[in-house]
Chains A and B, each alone.
Chain A
Amino acid sequence: MKAASFEHHEPTTVEEAVSLLESLDEPTILAGGQSLVPMLRFRLARPDTVIDINGIDSLEYLHEEDGYLRIGALARHADVEDTDVIADRYGSFADAAPLIADPQIRNQGTVVGSMAQADPKGDWGSVLIAHDGEVTARGPDGERTIPVDELFLLPYDTSLMDDELLTEARVPAPVEGEGSAYHKLKRKTGDYAMAGVAARLVLDDDGRIEDAGIGMTAVDITNARAADAEAHLEGERPSADLFEEAGELAAEASNPESDEHGDAGYKERMVDVLTQRALGDAAERAGAVKRRVPQ
């Protein structure tokens, strides 16, 4: 048998899961399992108990509601690929989903599980940063909202308490004049990102950038925000020159490590390039191109 033995619990409600989290000794939560199952089977993790949340039907949703795109804890990466509202209105989500792992893994792995895993090479953290997203955690004392910037602490470490379950990730529904995109550099299908950038732009009636969000993948100890680049964009008109400046600021804000895929300097340049490309797509989807051409 590959994995060390563990007790398996299958709650069917969030309340039940939370009370198990409270009463059991250091349990691990199993959702899609595409990161956890390998960790268990190689015995990198040896929890005594596993709380399998796949039977909690109330966490299986992915839809727009009350001004947010809401992603329940059991929505799979493949669900993001297959949801019409995402294809129509959430460019960054539609870009990112098919770039994750491979089809089999996307059928199992979950968006929210990826957030809880807090791998700095995970894609969804960057997308949520660009959208100023947040997550819901349920604990014994009820629900609390955690802005994505306060969720990731260190690689594989979040600000979630031991007795809290991540139930939802959400981002505000796009407003008029908003566009977003995600660009990712990886060596081949199935690999994690060498670098990735999510960008979101909101243009005002005058065609100026009213709001900008940029999240970066795999170039720091957590998914990271390029705050200086965002600030540089706001109030300006979209242009190739402006995006070049933002790309340089994002590269400066990144802190990649050299590895077998490339040295730190190369990855910084890739952050620069990916930022420009993501901003270009976001601007186009926000309607910038149409605005520049006189009617």
Chain B
Amino acid sequence: MTDKREITLTVNGTERTVEAEPRKLLVHAIREDLDLTGTHIGCDTGNCGACTVLKDGEPIKSCLTFAVQADGSEIMTVEGMEDLPEASGELHPLQEGFREEHGLQCGYCTPGMIMSGKALLDETPDPEEDEIREAISGNLCRCTGYQNIVKSIEYAADELNKEPAAADGGTVTAEQRFADDDFDCGVEDCCGGPSTETPHVEGADPQFDDVGGDDT
């Protein structure tokens, strides 16, 4: 056994140090030392992409990298998604997309898919379908047949492109958005959205009516 050494990683915006032998894989440092188990180990051979994380903004397979190789770099894992400004403290539009479009079944590949999707949308905010398929070509899914994963990423692209731009061209932060009294994020009991206290109005949304929904 060789000596452990201190490795400094900025993980999801927070500086963390790990004491690890040089032979420790990055994915093990992330899961076992930092307790961030959202990053999965699937095939353990570098094929499946479940262990995909962003290293300095680029997707890599954390099972094909030693932790020492990431010393000093910025790592982003799926746990960091909800802390991004565009998530507004809720699910990130990409995560929302996987929920809305049924982009997962067993969910094992999902963290890797989301990180590959994130890297794509950072570079290409409005991707074509073949660009999405290329971006996730290093991520295997055995449940969905990929179609709904593509739709999930398209959903996120649409949502992110809808985000109002700030005056300086950047994305509006949550504080800026909520400073506007008239803002409505659409979520119940939030930012002026519909309240659960609101009485049900028959016909307003057929899926909630006594008669209607799938029958109509």
Contact = CB atoms under 8 A, between A and B. Distances in A.
Contacts of A38: 45-46, 64
B191 to A, nearest CB: 37
B interface residue count range (under 10 / 10 to 19 / 20 to 34 / 35 or more): 20 to 34
A40 interface: yes
B53 to A, nearest CB: 9
A105 interface: yes
Nearest to A50: B22
B9 to A, nearest CB: 15
A5 B68 CA distance: 13
Contacts of B135: 103
Contact of A7 (B2, B25, B58): B2
A159 B158 CA distance: 53
Contact of A104 (B1, B61, B134): B61
A107 B59 contact: yes
B52 interface: yes
Contacts of B137: 102-103, 189-190
A33 B65 contact: yes
Contacts of B55: 107
Contacts of A102: 49, 137-138
Contacts of B138: 101-105, 189-190
Given A8-B2, A107-B58, A40 B23 contact: yes
Interface in A84-122: 98, 101-105, 107-108
B60 interface: yes
B68 A103 contact: no
Nearest to A109: B64
Given A103-B116, A190-B137, A1 B64 contact: no
Interface in B51-79: 52, 55, 58-61, 63-66, 68-69
Nearest to A76: B58
Nearest to B138: A102
Contacts of A54: 69
Q: Is the interface of A mostly helix, strand, loop or mixed?
A: mixed
B69 A1 contact: no
Given A104-B52, A190-B138, A34 B23 contact: no
Interface in B63-103: 63-66, 68-69
Interface residues of A, number: 30
A5 B64 contact: no
Nearest to B55: A107
Nearest to B47: A190
B19 interface: no
Contacts of B21: 1, 5
A261 interface: no
Contacts of B52: 104
A245 to B, nearest CB: 36
Contacts of A1: 21, 23-24, 28
Interface string B124-151: 0000000000110110000000000000
A5 B23 CA distance: 6
Contacts of B63: 41
Interface string A2-41: 1111111010000000000000000000100110011011
Given A102-B49, A103-B116, A8 B64 contact: no
Contacts of A98: 134
A247 B24 CA distance: 48
A107 B65 CA distance: 12
Contacts of A190: 47, 137-138
A82 B65 CA distance: 22
Interface of B: 1-2, 5, 21-25, 28, 45-47, 49, 52, 55, 58-61, 63-66, 68-69, 116, 119, 134-135, 137-138
24 contacts: A1-B23, A2-B23, A2-B25, A2-B28, A3-B25, A3-B66, A4-B23, A5-B2, A10-B68, A30-B66, A33-B66, A37-B64, A40-B23, A50-B22, A54-B69, A98-B134, A102-B138, A103-B135, A104-B49, A104-B60, A104-B64, A104-B116, A189-B138, A190-B138
Given A37-B46, A107-B55, 8 more contacts: A1-B24, A54-B69, A102-B49, A102-B138, A103-B134, A104-B60, A104-B61, A189-B138
Interface of A: 1-8, 10, 30, 33-34, 37-38, 40-41, 50, 52, 54, 78, 98, 101-105, 107-108, 189-190
